[in-house]
Amino acid sequence: MSALFWRDVALSFRIGGGAGQSLAFFVLAVSLLAFGLGGETDLLARLAPGALWVFALLACLLSLDRLFQADYEDGSLDLILLGPIPVESAVIAKTAAHWLTTGLPLALASPILAVMLNLPIEAWGALVGSLLIGTPALSLIGSIGAALTVGVRRGGLLLSLLVLPLYIPTLIFGALAVRAAALDQDVTGPFMLLVGVTLGCAALSPFASAAALRANLS
């Protein structure tokens, strides 16, 4: 299981890997918003919680289509399914590697982008915290979509259609936590719900993804 995890982490930093690309997309998309709205600093500050979360979510989505597809195309997926570890463990290893190389960098880079969007400094902690807690759910839910569309040529759009509606709870509670912190309100409620969403996804998605992979290959 650790062999698979470290291989995926290593691959994401090689040519064609997704590690830097999601982060670059996140930075560029937020910059575009900042440039587009120009000097409207009050408006930017009000948009910031939702905008940062939406862009983080889209950045995460971008790299998902390769999660199982690359292994499917070169035959590795067959060997992973026949391997000594349960398919569920393989899914967890691959999803964890995906989060470490996409979700975690997004969360760590978010304060820099918060400056661009004029997010009050009081909300930075909530922004990083909510992304740290919420992005694992994005990778976990995404793994279901990626497993369902494995083998579908140009399945990226289909993957988005499957996954984006399932991202709504994470988005709502994540953005709510940041907004509450920006308005100096209590953030416990949204954070608890966000933790709940992530834990629920962690419990369910490895089984759903493994079932989808098995069904897709037979």
Residues contributing to the site for another protein (CB under 8 A) = 3-4, 7, 10-11, 14-17, 73-76, 78-84, 86, 217-218
In the complex, the smallest distance separating the C-beta of residue 66 from another protein, rounded to whole angstroms, is 12
53 vs 72 by CB, closer to another protein: 72
In the complex, the smallest distance separating the C-beta of residue 10 from another protein, rounded to whole angstroms, is 7
In the complex, the smallest distance separating the C-beta of residue 14 from another protein, rounded to whole angstroms, is 4
Is the separation of the CB atoms in 119 and 52 below 8 Å? yes
Torsion of CA 7, 9, 10, 11, to 10 degrees: 80
The Cα–Cα gap between 13 and 116 comes to 27
In the complex, the smallest distance separating the C-beta of residue 8 from another protein, rounded to whole angstroms, is 10
In the complex, the smallest distance separating the C-beta of residue 102 from another protein, rounded to whole angstroms, is 17
The Cα–Cα gap between 138 and 149 comes to 16
In the complex, the smallest distance separating the C-beta of residue 81 from another protein, rounded to whole angstroms, is 7
CA 18 to each of CA 53, 94, 111, 156, 179: distance values in angstroms, whole numbers, following the listed order: 19, 13, 21, 14, 29
40 vs 73 by CB, closer to another protein: 73
The Cα–Cα gap between 129 and 194 comes to 10
39 vs 84 by CB, closer to another protein: 84
88 vs 124 by CB, closer to another protein: 88
14 vs 153 by CB, closer to another protein: 14
Q: Which two tokens stand for residue 109?
A: 């880079």
- Give the Cα-Cα-Cα angle 101, 103, 109 (nearest 5 degrees): 95
73 vs 184 by CB, closer to another protein: 73
* Residue 200: partners with Cβ closer than 8 Å, 6 or more residues away: none
